[in-house]
Amino acid sequence: MYERGFMEGTRGTMAVDWEERIDVQRLRRERKKRALDRLRDSELGSMLLINDPNVRYVTGLAMTGGSGADHYTLLTEDGSVVHWDTADHASNQKFNCPWLDDIRYACPGLGNVPRASGRSSARNWLTDKMADIVYEAMEEYGVHSEPMGLDVANGPLVEAFEGRGVHVDTSAATELMLDARKTKTRDEIECLRQVAAICEAGFQAITESAKPGKSESEVWGDAVKQLWRHGAMAQGGYVTSGPNTWPKHQANTTDRMIRPNDIVYADFYNIGYLGYRSCYYRTFSMGEPTQAQRNAYETARDDLYDVLERIEPGATTDEICEGFPDEEGEHMDWYGAEDPWQMTTNHWAHGLGLQLYEVPLIWRGLSPEHPIEIEEGMTMAVETMQPADRQGVRVEEMVVVRENGVEILSEWPVEEITRINY
């Protein structure tokens, strides 16, 4: 495991002038450069980015989901950026985002607005207008005669551009952006370290809140209060307990009352800090854990660290996935599963960044036949689980790949189940 140097680690969430923290100007500059370098190495003259994380990666704008293609960005080979957004967003961006000097009003050619219009003629008009205003910008910047990458393969939109003589490539832009985003800059890594620290404030709130008679939803509410207090956006996550911990509940916190001897499981996924998403699990016991709970936790933890010890630059995902449980260890017979691909989300590692799932993915259901090589600077979450009588435990670490192994960004104690005394 990678050992951090002296004074390396989380600084704080506020901007200060007396020490270096996350440098957001450098963050924006380096992300855009990575995308631009890959664009220049390709046959494309520009990329039209509609996917929210890609838009944020290039522009630094906080995309919050939107309604589909009511914000989009054109990146040209000379480094120019044109961004379209809804009326209020665009007007705010013109005032608040001086690093972008060409912000225009968007026509929503995809998503909720065309869908809600109720007429095919309206949908066609919106798509055509979107293509029209983007093409006008392409002409202005001199890239209208060169191939354009599009990161959303929408047939009518592609046809609208092709009707204007634009050659559209619907695969290159996606691949270029995946490649740009697969390893992280120092500031991106610090954002992930910070969001891990914020999740730990949520875990602490759970230890102080959970007690018999209190509902899962009340405990989750206390945890989320801490997440928001520290500047995070809680766009996912949940707390479950008792029988809701195995099999894993449907990503829902319920009104179930917590009882003595319960396992309480906290899944802090899609908690965002400056857009960078967490995936961080911990398991708690209400009182002294049973022997079955201890054994299950020890197995899940050992499985997790078996995988972590295999991750280093140059290792391949087919080799690493052998550290995850086999068919018996993954309890495939309990699920009635016959193939590893049927066990999606139970034991795997997935990339973290501006999305919950980024490159790489390490999984017995995919990696043996489709391996990729691990690179220094990749960030990921590694997760395992095990049943314990009629309940279950889960554990997960957030890590960054360093030159000689992984640095663990998550710090909540992992050696044993966290016991909650009440």
C-alpha 269/C-alpha 279 separation (Å) is: 4
pLDDT of residue 350: 98
pLDDT of residue 214: 98
Task: Compute the half-sphere exposure of residue 398: CA atoms within 13 Å on the CB side of its CA.
Answer: 32
The count of structural domains within the chain is 2
pLDDT digits (tens, 9 = 90+) for 87-115: 999 999 999 999 999 999 999 999 888 88
Structure tokens at 395: 């554990």
C-alpha 343/C-alpha 16 separation (Å) is: 46
**pLDDT over 60 at 66, yes or no:** no
In this structure, is residue 404 part of a structural domain? yes
Which backbone phi and psi does 281 adopt, to 5 degrees? -110, 145
In this structure, is residue 291 part of a structural domain? yes
Which backbone phi and psi does 111 adopt, to 5 degrees? 90, -145
pLDDT of residue 67: 52
Mean pLDDT (whole number) for 354-367: 96
Task: Give the least confident one: 105-114, 122-131, 157-166, 187-196.
Answer: 105-114
Structure tokens at 182: 């697969």
130 and 210 belong to one structural domain:
no
Task: Tell me the CATH number at 155.
Answer: 3.40.350.10
Mean pLDDT (whole number) for 6-13: 81
* Domain range for 62: 24-181
pLDDT band at 342 (very low <50, low <70, confident <90, very high): very high
pLDDT of residue 13: 87
**pLDDT over 60 at 416, yes or no:** yes
In this structure, is residue 18 part of a structural domain? no
385 and 238 belong to one structural domain:
yes
In this structure, is residue 6 part of a structural domain? no
Mean pLDDT (whole number) for 61-82: 85
Three-class secondary structure of residue 408 per DSSP: strand
pLDDT of residue 297: 98
> Which of 126, 155, 181 is at the close of a domain?
181
269 and 414 belong to one structural domain:
yes
Task: Compute the half-sphere exposure of residue 162: CA atoms within 13 Å on the CB side of its CA.
Answer: 11
Contact between 115 and 156 under an 8 Å Cβ cutoff? The reply is no
> Would you call the peptide bond into 360 cis, given omega within 30 degrees of 0 as the criterion?
yes
